[in-house]
Chains A and B, each alone.
Chain A
């Protein structure tokens, strides 16, 4: 089976994030594989181990994204492709990424493409579905179980806490939700082997695209951190008085009423 994974490098949102000059500071940030993409990598490896074939991990990123690709290779993926847009794309959005991926997948004959449900940085959840649309293949988002039998694919997906079961067919794109699997840690032998696995580096030029083709359709006007959470207030006294005070605070202080 020809298995592809879409993987994004993101900053670790559990670490401290600093914003300056309307941009997220790259310097202090710790970068990781988008956690939802880790489910995709794990599932891809499991599918390959069951059905045979190869797992190719693809990222649109920069020089530094090699680290995350190598980690996926260390987990067990077979090869990786880095589409490096560092020099060509100044501003990009989901349209940019999908354009690039569409060009990449044009001649690929993928049986299944696995992506994360969302990336934890911008959390748009757009790239997977849009790419499937461009490639004219079905897609299922937020999957929590997948079973492939020949061309038939049975899927369970998370719908706001409930499970939806559906049947579809290959070729297919899915986006992975928490609960699908427990991603493995890359083992030491895996890390050492990853060094020797193929990692192809492409630029948009290699995909017959130029900067104008991948122009973003959105504009970022501002990036800011959410206001710091203030200490809570504990109301005291008779319940009736507390309710009154609460309502008045909701009106005067929180201004939500």
Chain B
């Protein structure tokens, strides 16, 4: 057992923290109010090599690991949930599936620009009538000569308005038992027939781009099929497993940010002639948040470590996501309580933490779905 980070992991954590404190934090309120995707920040994240952390050097990445990646997500999430979500989605959902399942040609064409930070990618699974039940996908991809013709609709897709390509899941046929075969296909966003619009007025993560996609007779070459045509469903389950670690890390960042703010406020705020941190009721809240933050961190590090070791991490990733995101919500809620009326004001930022945290209990598998995944791993 060794709980110490490597020098590289420690250095990355510090670099991302310094960057986030200096460049993202001062803009976090503005990003939320204006609901504007901070494109320039993503350009800089790309230049720092952060968009390719877990991707090998030969594909334009840094050749680092999941632990390092989780640390980076946490540090960004600590100051800005919107930037954190778009960052996590770009790496885990946009880039990783191409690395796991792509052909060499697909990696060169579609992965390298993402890992080098020159472009963003998205992952379009959710549809108006297929959310938790991804098997209910209605979008179809029909073979026509060397091409697929794709028709359908996707909703709530992170970063799609700024993406160079979107990995779209679609029904490509039926298996022997008459069940739909779902495959993943890489669709460049400039393909004719794609309409991408982001008109959602969101509760939180307002600066993260979320878009609706309509595909009308979208024609892409069949060589854009990602991975095994029969295994599309399994593949995206694997993708989501990995993505969960990063959403968990984002929750941890928000929880840690809530703790930091609540603690320093409690020490400064005086009522009844003393700092409110001297009241046991406030101390117990802080102690609980601190404990949950630490537990969430340990669970995330374990899931990330298992992934880096090439071991099965499905159960641990689901546990980490479930626990860390619910911790984020509780921590932000208590941070507001500790701030009293001030906490209800935008300027103190903890109300934003709560709104941002709520998304994490929904996206990339709701809390209920995480419990289903864990139960299934238990053999239920």
Chain A positions near chain B (C-beta within 8 angstroms): 32, 66-67, 70-71, 74, 185-192, 194-195
Contact = CB atoms under 8 A, between A and B. Distances in A.
Contact of B10 (A67, A185, A187, A190): A67
B49 A188 contact: yes
A191 B15 contact: yes
Contacts of B64: 188, 191-192
Given A67-B7, A70-B7, A185-B48, A191 B12 contact: yes
B: interface residue count bin: 10 to 19
B19 interface: yes
B251 interface: no
B196 interface: no
Nearest to A190: B49
A33 to B, nearest CB: 10
A195 B12 CA distance: 13
A66 B7 contact: yes
Nearest to B45: A188
Interface string B4-21: 000110111011001100
Q: Which 8 A-B pairs have the closest CB atoms?
A: A188-B49, A188-B62, A187-B49, A189-B49, A187-B48, A191-B11, A185-B15, A189-B62
B53 interface: yes
A194 B8 CA distance: 9
Chain A binding surface, main DSSP class: helix
B11 A189 contact: no
Contact of B62 (A70, A185, A192): A192
A189 B47 CA distance: 10
12 contacts: A71-B14, A185-B15, A186-B11, A188-B12, A188-B50, A188-B62, A189-B49, A189-B57, A191-B11, A191-B62, A192-B8, A195-B8
A54 B178 CA distance: 67
B81 interface: no
B52 interface: yes
A185 B16 CA distance: 9
B57 A187 contact: no
Interface in B93-126: none
Contacts of A192: 8, 57, 62-64
A188 B69 CA distance: 10
B48 A188 contact: yes
B1 to A, nearest CB: 21
B19 A185 contact: yes
Contacts of B12: 188, 191
Given A32-B14, A195-B7, 10 more contacts: A70-B11, A185-B18, A187-B47, A187-B48, A188-B50, A189-B49, A189-B57, A191-B11, A191-B62, A191-B64
Interface string B59-74: 0001110000000000
A198 to B, nearest CB: 15
A194 B9 CA distance: 12
Q: For B7, B10, B12, B47, which residue has the most chain A Cβ atoms within 10 angstroms?
A: B7
Contacts of B47: 187
A132 B62 CA distance: 40
A163 to B, nearest CB: 26
A74 B11 contact: yes
Given A188-B50, A188-B62, A67 B11 contact: yes
Interface string B198-213: 0000000000000000
B264 to A, nearest CB: 11
Nearest to B48: A187
Interface in B5-58: 7-8, 10-12, 14-15, 18-19, 47-50, 52-53, 57
Contacts of B10: 67
A32 B15 CA distance: 11
A193 to B, nearest CB: 10
Contact of A188 (B7, B14, B18, B52): B52
A71 B11 CA distance: 7
Nearest to B53: A188
A32 B21 CA distance: 15
Contacts of A185: 15, 18-19, 48
A190 B15 CA distance: 11
A254 B149 CA distance: 83
Contacts of A187: 47-49
Contacts of A195: 7-8
A252 to B, nearest CB: 26
Contacts of A74: 11, 15
Interface string B79-93: 000000000000000
A186 B7 contact: no
A126 to B, nearest CB: 28
Contacts of A188: 12, 48-50, 52-53, 62, 64
A182 to B, nearest CB: 10
B40 to A, nearest CB: 15
A166 to B, nearest CB: 32
Interface string B246-289: 00000000000000000000000000000000000000000000
Nearest to B12: A191
